Chains A and B, each alone.
Chain A
Amino acid sequence: MSSSYERIFDIPIGPQHPALKEPAMLRLKVDGEHVVGVDLDVSYNHRGIEKAAEYRTYIQNLYLIERICGICNVAQTLTYCLAVESLHGKEIPPRARFLRIIAEEISRINSHLLWLGVAAHEIGFDTFFMHVWLDREITLGLMEALSGNRITSSYNVIGGVRRDVTDELLARIRKGLDELEPRVKRYREIVLTDRSILKRTQGVGLLSPADAVATSAVGPTLRASGIRSDVRADDPYSSHDQVPFNVVASDGCDAHARILVRLDEILESIQMCRYCVQKLPSGPILQRLLRRTPPGEGLSRVEAPRGELFHYILSDGSDKPYRCKVSTPTLANLPALVRMLTSKGKYVVNIADVPVILASIDPCFSCAARVEKSGGV
C-alpha cells in the first residue's frame, strides 16, 4: 500500500485483548487505520488433552474429551463415541440415535445464539447482545431438562445416551422450540434490516468460494461462501438420513452472510428437533459394549456448530486408547481467517473490521491449540 516503512507499525491483538475470549496473538501491521499484514499465533493454550487421553480408560475419556470445548461439548463427545463405536462394529439403538440428534441440534442452537451475541458485542451493539443471550437461556433450560446440566451435558456415552426422555419432557422441548422460533425470526429480520449492522458487516471479511476451498474452510464459514458442504448431509452419522433438513448456504461471502447462515441453521435445527421429537422411535437407549475395545483404527467426523470436527482413535485392544487425535473446526478455519484479514487490491481491512472478521469464523482457540505456530499461512 505505502512505500514508506516508517508509517507502518505493529498492533498486537492479543495474547490478552478485549476482542479475544481466549489467548491468541494477531500481530497486525497497520498503515493508519488499514491492515496491511497479519501474523497469527495460536500456540498459547496447549492443554495436552490428547496425551492425557492415553492414560485414561475409554469411559473416563468421555469426560475429558467433553472438556475440549465447553460450547460444542455435545459434538465432541458424539464424535468420540462414534469413533469408539466404529471399533466395536455394533449398531446403536435408533432411539439413542434420535436423542443424539436432539441433543446435538439444541447445542447447535445454543452455540449459534451465543455466537450471535458475541458478534453483536464485537460491533459494539450491546443491546442486541443482551437480548440474544436472554433467549439463549431457553436452550440452556432445554439442555438442563434433557441431560441434567446446562453446559457440560455428558449426554452421549459409548453405545448410546445416558438418560431417556419422558413425554412431559418432549412436550417441554416442543414448547421451548415454539418460544424460540419467533425470536430467531425476529433477529433474522433485524440483521437483514438494521442499517448499523449492515454497515459493519457487509463486504467485511470477504472469502471467495475459490479461496474457501483452497484454504479448506469448514462449517458456516465455508457455507457462507456459497459451498453446500455439511457432514450431516454428506456423511450421515446419526440417523441424519431419516431426518429431513436443508443445508443452508449463502452467496454473500462476507461477515453478514455468515450471520445469516447461522441464523438460518438455527431455524433448520428447530425443525430437525421438532421432527425428532415427533418421530422418536421406542426401544432401548443404550447398546452395552465391552470395556476392552477391539484393536484397530477408529475414525469419525461430525458437523459441530463451528464446522467439521474430526476424531481419530488407535486402539491396541486394551481399555485405554493407544492414541487419540482431535482436529477441531477452528484449526481448519485459521488459514481462511488469515486470508480474510489481508487487504488485497480494492478489498481493504480496517482495524475496526478485525474483531468482526475474527468473530465471523466463530473461533475457539483453546480447542485449536494443538499447533506450535501457524503464522504465515
Chain B
Amino acid sequence: MDTAILSLLQTLAFPGFLFLAVSSFFYEWLDRKIYAWMQFRAGPLSAGPMGILQPLADFIKLMGKEDITPAYVDRRIFGAVPVLMVAITLTFWAVIPVTGAAGLVSFRGDVIFAVVAMTFFCILVFLGGFSSANRFSLLGAERATLQLLGFEIPLMLSVTGVCIHTGGLSMAEIVSWQAENGWSVLGPQAIGFFIFLIAAQAELERIPFDIPEAEQEIVAGWLTEYSGRKLALIRLAKDMELVFVSGLAVALFLGGPVGPSPSGMEWIAYTAYFLLKVAIIVSILAIIRGLFARARIDQMVSFGIRYLVPLSLAQVAATVLWRLF
C-alpha cells in the first residue's frame, strides 16, 4: 500500500509531472533572461522577483483567453494535438534520471524510447499544422517534416555513439558507467555532444532552426490557428520538451545527476546536480539562439545531410575504434 502511494506521489509530484512543469517554467525564464541579456534587454521583469513568475503568468493568461477553432479545421486532430503533446512529454519524462542513476521507469532500451519521443513530437507538429486547414500552417507542417530529415539521423547517431561508448542501452547503465569512468563528453563523445545540441535546437524549433514557425515568413507556421487553452498547452509542452531534451543530454553526456554527496542525502544532492546541469545545457541553447540568423529550410537540410551526418558517422567510427583498443 505504502509503495503504491509513494510511486503515485513520485509520478504526480516529484520527480514526475509537477516537478517537470515547475522546472519547465523556471527554465523558460532562464532562457528568456539569457536571450535578453545577450540583446541588452531586461527580459521578464515584473511578475515575481526578477520576473521569475512570468512564464507561469503567461500560461495562466493564455488559459483564460478565447479559444477559437476555425470552421474548416479537422476538429478531432486539431484538438487532440496539444493534449497529446503534453501527454507524450510527461510520459517520456519518466525515463529521465533525476534523483538517482535511474529514472522513475527504467528498462533495457529506454534510451531508444527517449529518442523516439523526438520523432513523436515532430509527427504531432505535422498533424497540428496539417489539420489546421491554413496555408501558413500547412507550410509550417511541411517544413517541420523536412527539418526532421535534416536532424534526426545525426541525433540518433550521436546517441548511438554514447551507447557504444558505455556499452549500455538503458539510462541507468549509461549514468552509472559515467559515474565510474568519467563523463562521456570527455572522450570522443565531445563531437556527439555538439551534434546532439544542434539537433536539439532543431527539434525544439529555436533559432537558427525555428524554420517551421518562422514569424517573418509564415506568421507562426504550424501554430498559426492555435489560440487560448490549446496554445497554452502547446507552449507548456514545448517548455517541458526543452527540459526533457536537456535532461536527456545531461544523462547521456554530462554524467547524469550522479555525483559526490553526503550519505543519506543523495536524492537532494542529485536533484541539485541535475538542475544545475540542465541549466548549463539551457544556457548553451539560449546562447546559440542569440548568435545566429534563421537558416533557410533547404540550407538546414543540406547542412544536416552534408556535415552533421558524416560528422556523426565519423564519431561513431571513432567510438568503435576507442572501444576496440
A contact set with B: CB distance below 8 Å: 9-12, 17-19, 32-33, 120-131, 134, 194, 196-197, 199-200, 350-355
Contact = CB atoms under 8 A, between A and B. Distances in A.
B217 A199 contact: no
Contacts of A123: 216, 293-294
7 contacts: A33-B139, A124-B214, A124-B216, A126-B290, A127-B291, A196-B208, A196-B295
Contact of A127 (B39, B143, B219): B39
Interface in B4-50: 38-41
B216 A11 contact: no
Interface in B105-149: 135-136, 139, 142-143
Nearest to B296: A352
Q: Is the interface of B mostly helix, strand, loop or mixed?
A: helix
A258 to B, nearest CB: 16
B149 to A, nearest CB: 14
The 7 closest A-B pairs by CB, nearest first: A124-B294, A130-B39, A125-B293, A196-B293, A123-B293, A355-B216, A19-B216
Contacts of B41: 130
**Residue picked from B40, B207, B217, B298, most chain A C-beta under 10 Å:** B217
B275 interface: no
Contacts of B139: 11, 33, 351
B218 A351 contact: yes
A129 B296 CA distance: 19
Contacts of A9: 135
A194 to B, nearest CB: 8
Contacts of B40: 130-131, 134
Given A134-B40, A196-B295, 14 more contacts: A10-B135, A33-B298, A124-B207, A124-B208, A124-B214, A124-B216, A124-B294, A125-B293, A126-B290, A128-B293, A131-B39, A199-B293, A200-B293, A351-B218
A290 B237 CA distance: 70
Contacts of B210: 124
Contacts of A11: 135-136, 139, 218
B67 interface: no
B299 interface: yes
Nearest to A124: B294
B214 A352 contact: yes
Interface residues of B, number: 29
A121 B292 CA distance: 11
Contact of B219 (A18, A32, A196, A200): A18
A194 B297 CA distance: 19
Contacts of B58: none
Interface of B: 38-41, 135-136, 139, 142-143, 207-208, 210-211, 214-219, 290-299
A352 B297 contact: yes
A200 B299 CA distance: 9
Given A130-B39, A196-B208, A125 B294 contact: yes
B220 to A, nearest CB: 8
Contacts of B214: 124, 352
Nearest to B303: A199
B205 to A, nearest CB: 12
A199 B292 CA distance: 11
A214 B136 CA distance: 34
B217 A354 contact: yes
Contacts of A128: 293
Contacts of A17: 219
B134 to A, nearest CB: 11
A121 B298 CA distance: 20
Contacts of B215: 18, 124
A199 B299 contact: yes
B317 to A, nearest CB: 27
**Residue picked from A121, A130, A131, most chain B C-beta under 10 Å:** A130
B181 to A, nearest CB: 37
A134 to B, nearest CB: 6
Nearest to B38: A127
Contact of B216 (A10, A122, A127, A134): A122
Contact of A120 (B143, B290, B293): B293
A290 B125 CA distance: 69
A36 B298 CA distance: 17
Contacts of B295: 196, 199-200
Given A130-B40, A199-B299, A352-B296, A18 B208 contact: no
A10 to B, nearest CB: 7
Nearest to A204: B296
A294 B281 CA distance: 73
Contacts of A130: 39-41
A33 B297 contact: yes
Contact of B293 (A19, A33, A124, A131): A124
B216 A121 contact: yes
A122 B293 CA distance: 9
Contact of B39 (A126, A350, A353): A126
A65 to B, nearest CB: 32
